[in-house]
Chain A
Amino acid sequence: MLRFILQKLALIVPTIIGITIASFAFIRLLPGDPILAMASQYGVTPERYEILKHQYGYDLPIWQQYFNYVGGILQGNFGISLATKRPVIEEFMTLFPATVELALFAILIAVALGIPAGIFAAIKRGSWFDQITMGVALTGYSMPIFWWGLLLIIFFSGYLGWTPVSGRIAVSFFFPRVTGFMLIDSLIAGKPAGFVSALRHLILPAVVLATIPLAVIARQTRSAMLEVLGEDYVRTARAKGLEPSRVVAVHAFRNALIPVVTTIGLQVGLLMGGAILTETIFSWPGIGKWMIDSISKRDYVSVQSGLLLIALIVMAVNLIVDILYAVINPRIRVQ
């Protein structure tokens, strides 16, 4: 098992190096001079230009600039935001829990609804339940989620007035930040009303972000189940006279779960993309909205580091999924 993990790690090293090169190249690919781009509307005197050029290391050879960049990252130095003049990593860490809370809640919804829907659709293949579920799943999969979010706001926030339109929690609540997750921090602070407020803020964005993963998981679970239900060992289990529900739960589902776990893992990258749109629509203070704001404010240092950090996080999650995959499926480890 350790050997498997080491092999996986060795395989992603070139990709990690590539990601650092890509994010390093980003600022240098921007049209125009990077110093002038940073100075933007304020302009810069020739003397100040030279100072800045030296300060940011732009007077060094390009390979040395790259090594300095990677060296900085390894020491946790991701640069200073051009917009707020604070270290980028600080901003990132402040906002990151909001995105994680949203994404976890979304994936929870997607798994809790998608897997049972997929199983029942497969068992009742061809029934009206199967057809409707798969029709809804394909619609969800085809959904422009930014529009879907607006529709939900119109209906639930505007027409029914059930949920707030934006933000993470009502401004009247304040409690110390422990985990960064509003749902947990409100309970730690002993404010159940804050928990309710946070939940009401969370529910619509989470549903929007869950839409596509939910559709994908339901479809994948169904096809994995259909494949497994046709296998010999399921037929044997049935022939032995086992309860149909036991055949499905024990023999079929455990084996169908393997591709489904991979699918769930693959959703993480998509969730990060979806978070950009969802957070923008609901003014959710997470890293998706932060990236969009940074791009529109031309805060390229934040964009560069955000790009790098997000890619590294997605890779780390995919690695963990690969390892989990090997844990539940011993055949992979031997290959």
Chain B
Amino acid sequence: MAAETTTTTSAAPGRFSGLREFWYYFSMNHGAVLGLAVFLLLILVAIFAPVLAPFPPDQQFREFIRMAPSWAGGTQPQFFLGTDEVGRDILSRLIHGARFSLFIGFFVVVLAMITGVTFGLLAGYFRGWVDAMIMRVMDIILAFPSLLLALVMVAILGPGLLNAMLAIALVLQPHFARLTRAAVLSEKSREYVTSAKVAGAGHLRQMFITILPNCLGPLIVQATLSFSNAILDAAALGFLGMGAQPPTPEWGTMLARAREFITSAWWIVTMPGLAILITVLAINLVGDGLRDALDPKLKRS
């Protein structure tokens, strides 16, 4: 017990200086800071969507169908980004769509991370047949192209946003498992783990409290990558008609029928995709910054 108290007290100041050091490296990357700002802005937009959006996302203005944006030849100044094929305000739909995309990202990453990290910990900690079983299953999942596997999963479960998210979480989860396993293998033989074991820590404590916090760096980077992948894959499934179903203002779903308007109403096609691109780009910028700040190997160069 005495050993444990000393570790926690001595770790506390270290943790804060670690955070400061982290921010120092992170903020050196201007792109990452910009990405973080955009991402925080998007979260605010998602939270305050009903207040910010000029109209409800499903309200149809039948007299203003396929109205061009107000700055691009549209006659109606209240529709800043124009209206879609049934007269709904595109800006309002995009603002509400931010809720879906961010929710998809969070949900998928949390689910994939919890299951993947648990499997990876079990595999790396126990080795032997547990390891072999878990990692072979992960290999099988990774053998399929992820979008194809997600599509087939949705075909089994039925189209819809929840099923799409479950399918995407399933295909992203092996990356977490592999990463955790590799980190556990390199940490397991370190002295602090042995000392925890000698002090009488049980399997669960060793896995989750002793080892896991020291594997977090690469996992955080992977989580950001998975966040943007989840948004892209969910949008792709929505586009293919297998994700969120109309009239949900999910960005990919908004593009599902857009092909019909490529010659007649470019704004119906352009705007939702731009929203996806900006969101994913912002998250990937943050991911790059996190990798620079958390990867000690790159830090030196």
Contact = CB atoms under 8 A, between A and B. Distances in A.
A158 B265 CA distance: 12
Given A142-B280, A144-B236, A307 B147 contact: no
Given A29-B156, A139-B281, A150-B258, A144 B240 contact: no
A18 interface: yes
A310 B240 CA distance: 19
Nearest to B30: A131
Given A144-B235, A276-B151, A151 B156 contact: no
B121 to A, nearest CB: 22
Contacts of B158: 31
B259 A311 contact: no
Contact of A142 (B146, B270, B272, B281): B281
A214 to B, nearest CB: 15
B269 A151 contact: yes
Interface in A264-305: 269-270, 272-274, 276-277, 280-281, 291-292, 295-296, 303
A146 B277 contact: no
A14 B136 contact: yes
Contact of A147 (B144, B277, B285): B277
Given A154-B266, A226-B301, A276-B148, A146 B281 contact: no
A147 B240 CA distance: 12
A51 B92 CA distance: 56
Given A143-B277, A226-B301, A18 B139 contact: yes
A153 B158 CA distance: 31
Interface residues of A, number: 46
Interface residues of B, number: 45
B143 interface: yes
Given A158-B262, A273-B147, A277-B236, A150 B255 contact: yes
Contacts of A147: 239, 255, 269, 272-273, 276-277
Contacts of A277: 147, 236, 239-240
A154 B262 contact: yes
A98 B240 CA distance: 21
A10 interface: no
Interface in A1-58: 14-15, 18-19, 22, 26, 29-31
Contact of A18 (B140, B145, B147, B284): B140
A73 interface: no
Contacts of B273: 144, 147-148, 150-151
Interface in A214-233: 226-227, 230
B255 A281 contact: no
B230 interface: no
A315 B143 contact: yes
Interface in A92-112: none
Contacts of A150: 255, 258-259, 262, 269, 273
A154 B269 contact: yes
Contacts of B242: 295
B285 A138 contact: yes
A314 B144 CA distance: 8
Contacts of B72: none
Given A138-B281, A146-B236, A150-B258, A18 B136 contact: yes
B288 interface: yes
B240 A292 contact: yes
A150 B281 CA distance: 19
A144 B148 contact: no
Nearest to A304: B152
A281 B273 CA distance: 14
Contacts of B31: 135, 138
A181 interface: no
Contacts of A274: 147
Given A295-B155, A303-B155, A269 B145 contact: yes
Interface string A141-168: 1111011101101100010000000000
Contact of B284 (A138, A148, A154, A296): A138
Contacts of A270: 145
Contact of A307 (B152, B276, B283): B152
A148 B284 CA distance: 18
Contacts of B136: 14-15, 18
Contacts of A31: 156, 158
B90 to A, nearest CB: 14
Nearest to A150: B269
Contact of B140 (A19, A227, A230): A19
Contact of A291 (B146, B148, B269): B148
A279 to B, nearest CB: 11
B17 interface: no
Interface of A: 14-15, 18-19, 22, 26, 29-31, 135, 138-139, 141-144, 146-148, 150-151, 153-154, 158, 226-227, 230, 269-270, 272-274, 276-277, 280-281, 291-292, 295-296, 303, 307, 310-311, 314-315
25 contacts: A14-B139, A18-B140, A19-B144, A26-B152, A135-B31, A141-B284, A142-B281, A144-B280, A146-B239, A147-B239, A147-B269, A150-B273, A154-B262, A269-B146, A270-B145, A276-B147, A276-B148, A277-B236, A281-B259, A291-B148, A292-B151, A292-B240, A295-B155, A303-B155, A307-B149
Q: What are the nearest 6 A-B pairs in CB distance?
A: A147-B273, A273-B147, A18-B140, A273-B145, A142-B280, A142-B281
Given A151-B270, A276-B240, A310-B144, 11 more contacts: A18-B139, A18-B140, A19-B143, A30-B156, A138-B285, A138-B288, A141-B284, A142-B284, A273-B145, A276-B147, A307-B152
